Chains A and B, each alone.
Chain A
Amino acid sequence: MSVLAANKPAYDGQTLDLSGKSGARAFKNTLATVLIVLAFAVALIPLLWILWTVISKGYSLLFDANWWSQSQRGVTVRREGGGAYHAVMGTLIMGLITAAIAVPIAILGAIYLVEYGKGTKAARAVSFMVDILTGVPSIVAALFVYAVWITVFGFNRVGFAVSLSLVLLMLPVVLRSTEEMLKLVPDELREASYALGVPKWKTILKVVVPTAFGGIVTGVMLGLARVMGETAPLLILVGYSKNINLNPFDGFMGALPTMINQDRTELALEPAADRVWAAALTLILLVLALNLLARLVARFSAIKSK
């Protein structure tokens, strides 16, 4: 073989066309690039616009210490002053109760779907129900809880009722994202754990869930961000209170979306308008802060184990 190869001429004398300059292809490439960049920019415009509007109109009140420490007690739409403490606390309390109920159910449900029920009729039924739940509008969830909590059981309109309806909205979001994250965990890791004689439940708890932890936290945050901005359940299930009420089981409760709704009617009046924008910005910051916190938790737990 090598003798033959040595006797062959080094070049066969033909030059291949490697220039690849095809006008039509180059044009299509440029066109596609421009379109993609444009689409990106168009998608970005509303986001930046919203941020700019909210920040520019709402930032001034946020530097006022009263904003973070006082309620709207006794403040009318024509008057300046007061704060959003009652609404921030209301939103946080209702949001955290919602998460405390929805997150365990969602994560356990996702674990069932991925680890135990794969391919069974029960899993398909659960999956189908979750799909339906994803499509339920917030006002329908609120009316359902109203019908059960208030009409049937005869309880009052309180913060906890809002949390119950928000659970219905948060559950499918967290369950779906957790399910996707668990599916991404390679089977090889599960097998490695089984091969060490580790039982299935412990494999899930100590290997599968920690591997997917970052993604699960992100899903929880997305779910929480979604429900903290919901307004319909607040309007239906708990009245807006300008006073500080930290008890989710008794009385009306302030919340940022309903605070915005309260002052929105008098947007022509400057004090009210200021408060609307400041409350909107506060809500955005609250979600952002929770997001950052969750990322820190996820990162901290990852480093700790490394």
Chain B
Amino acid sequence: MAKRIEVGGLNVYYGDFKAVEDVSMTIEPRSVTAFIGPSGCGKSTYLRTLNRMHEVIPGARVEGKVMLDQQDLYATGVDPVAVRRVVGMVFQRPNPFPTMSIFDNVASGLKLNGVKDRKKLTAVVEQSLQAANLWNEVKDRLDKPGAGLSGGQQQRLCIARAIAVEPEVILMDEPCSALDPISTLAIEDLIEKLKDRFTVVIVTHNMQQAARVSDQTAFFNLAATGKPGRLIEMGPTKQIFSNPNEKATEDYITGRFG
């Protein structure tokens, strides 16, 4: 598991508006890559093109290539549903399914894709909750609604749900921005653990978080409001935070703007 993502010359449009321009990068397997940058610079939009999630929004389209190992995710005949089975996603706000129990939430990806074998489901649910550092907190109440957990637990539930379908890549769109510092720490520990098995990509507004959890950091910026966002530079997190090549990166990281 865990695959390399190679992006080449990617443009993202919402209708006529160009939201992201000419992004090329390589995301290494079994590592954490962080996207940082000011609001509106297109990092979330770009993240969503990595599992074709942007297509949910009418009028959104891309130009360019996204290769998962040797396969182009945008080649003709590629089903976005199949893409999302191998590239999972965790969202900004915890979004467990309100009609489902904790167990069913974690099992939902498998169940909704036709897995009925109870033994397998039970095993996967336990493994996934273990992997999401949530098992000990919920093992006695798996049949209780997932929406009854605290925000941080809900987010870990969502991560468990995402890893239960055994994806190659996990995309995280500001997974801690709605959480308190303790829950954030729990998620960060979890991300550290997840990179042993998955390729993890995380969008964050919290630069300390990027510095703490990521191996590679990509800095996005936009020239002005209404202009498309661009990838300014990308490199090992240590280098980006200590000795960036670009002036804009340094300004952003030291808090001079954004």
Task: Please list the residues of chain A having a beta carbon within 8 angstroms of any beta carbon in chain B.
Answer: 118-119, 186-200, 202-203, 206-207, 210-211, 213, 302, 305-306
Contacts and interface: CB of A to CB of B under 8 A. Distances in A.
B145 A195 contact: no
A188 B93 contact: yes
B56 A194 contact: yes
B81 A199 contact: yes
A188 B98 CA distance: 11
Contacts of A207: 97, 99, 112
B133 interface: no
A192 B84 contact: no
B77 to A, nearest CB: 16
Contacts of A190: 56
Nearest to B164: A196
A184 to B, nearest CB: 11
Q: Which secondary structure dominates chain A's binding surface?
A: helix
Contacts of A187: 56
Interface residues of B, number: 34
Given A119-B58, A306-B143, A192 B91 contact: yes
Contact of B99 (A119, A191, A203, A305): A305
Contact of B84 (A188, A194, A210, A213): A194
Interface string B32-57: 00000000000000000001010010
A198 B86 CA distance: 12
B91 A188 contact: yes
B112 A198 contact: yes
Nearest to B88: A195
9 contacts: A191-B91, A195-B84, A196-B85, A196-B161, A197-B113, A198-B81, A198-B113, A199-B81, A305-B104
A202 B112 contact: yes
Contacts of A211: 97-99
Contacts of B84: 194-197
